[in-house]
């Protein structure tokens, strides 16, 4: 199985400041079709996760442009340009390049 | 608005089984893959398996092989996940989720989850 490793596991951030989360996969997520199947999810307390970003850098419908994704191969980053109060919760990376699909351990974003 | 409807909560005894349902509203059921993910209290997300109703293809995570059964009823747009031989560490929220049929499509919608408690 592909192991997804996120850093940091906890990120205290000041409102209005940027935040960054890294995700590394144990194998390349590049498919022979050229696409890279790495997504980012956000889970608020007591809620199911919701999709933010897919295929490294594509924002899902309704996701603010404060959120951006980057990376290639096995190393990926989620950035929030200016953190808002609503952004608290846990962020997960997820790979859908190979079965079983797997998730990172999660990064808890909290406001300082 | 896409909805994956999952109901409430269940309390089960160790060794018993639980069957979780997930009814999809909006969109053609057979145009999607349905995935089951669980989350133990205070823990992360764990992929359990998936079903592609249009072709009857089912995949399970190795960890759950032999204990989990996933199926779907296209006539009612409902996916099901049954977990047998319940143990205390199976206590979790069980989510159903949906992805498109294209290879690598992300999970785009999630149900609210069903809480399963395992207790004697």
CB contact under 8 A, B107 and A51: yes
Q: Under a CB-based contact definition with an 8 Å cutoff, are residues B32 and B42 in contact?
A: no
DSSP, residue by residue, B41-71: TT---EEEEEEETTTTEEEE-GGGTTTEEEE
To the nearest whole angstrom, how far is the Cα of A49 from the nearest Cα of chain B?
7
What pLDDT does residue B28 have? Answer: 82
The string of pLDDT tens digits covering residues A12-22 is: 999 999 999 99
CB contact under 8 A, A94 and B45: yes
What pLDDT does residue B27 have? Answer: 72
Minimum Cα–Cα distance from B111: chain A residue: A48
CB contact under 8 A, A48 and B111: yes
The CA angle A84-A63-B21, to the nearest 5 degrees, is 110
- Average pLDDT of chain A is 97
Closest CA to A70 of A106, A112, A22: A22
Q: How many CA atoms lie within 13 A of A52 on its CB side?
A: 26
Minimum Cα–Cα distance from A98: chain B residue: B104
The string of pLDDT tens digits covering residues B41-78 is: 999 999 999 999 999 999 999 999 999 999 999 999 99
To the nearest whole angstrom, how far is the Cα of A39 from the nearest Cα of chain B?
7
Q: CA quadruple A7, A20, A91, B45: dihedral positive or negative?
A: negative
Pick from A54, A55, A100: CB nearest B47: A100
């Amino acid at each position: 199985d592909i192991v997804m490793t996120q850093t940091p596991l906890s990120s205290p951030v000041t409102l209005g400041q940027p935040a960054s989360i890294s995700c590394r996969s144990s194998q390349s997520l590049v498919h022979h079709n050229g696409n890279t199947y790495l997504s980012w999810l956000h889970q608020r307390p007591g809620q199911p996760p919701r999709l933010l970003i897919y295929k490294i850098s594509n924002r899902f419908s309704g996701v603010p442009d404060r959120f951006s994704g980057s990376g290639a191969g096995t190393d990926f980053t989620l950035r929030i340009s200016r953190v808002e109060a609503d952004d608290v919760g846990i962020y997960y990376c997820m790979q859908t390049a190979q079965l079983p699909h797997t998730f990172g351990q999660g990064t808890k974003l909290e406001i300082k | 608005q896409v909805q994956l409807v999952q109901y409430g909560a269940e309390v089960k005894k160790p060794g018993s089984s639980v069957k979780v349902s997930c009814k999809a509203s909006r969109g053609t059921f057979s145009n999607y893959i349905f995935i089951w993910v669980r989350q133990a209290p205070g823990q992360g997300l764990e992929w359990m398996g998936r079903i592609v109703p249009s072709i009857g293809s089912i995949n399970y995570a190795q960890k759950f092989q032999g204990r989990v059964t996933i199926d779907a009823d296209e006539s009612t747009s409902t996916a099901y996940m049954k977990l047998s031989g319940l143990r205390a560490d199976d206590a979790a929220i069980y989510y159903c989720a949906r992805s498109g049929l294209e290879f690598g499509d992300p999970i785009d919608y999630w149900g609210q989850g069903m809480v399963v408690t395992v207790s004697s």
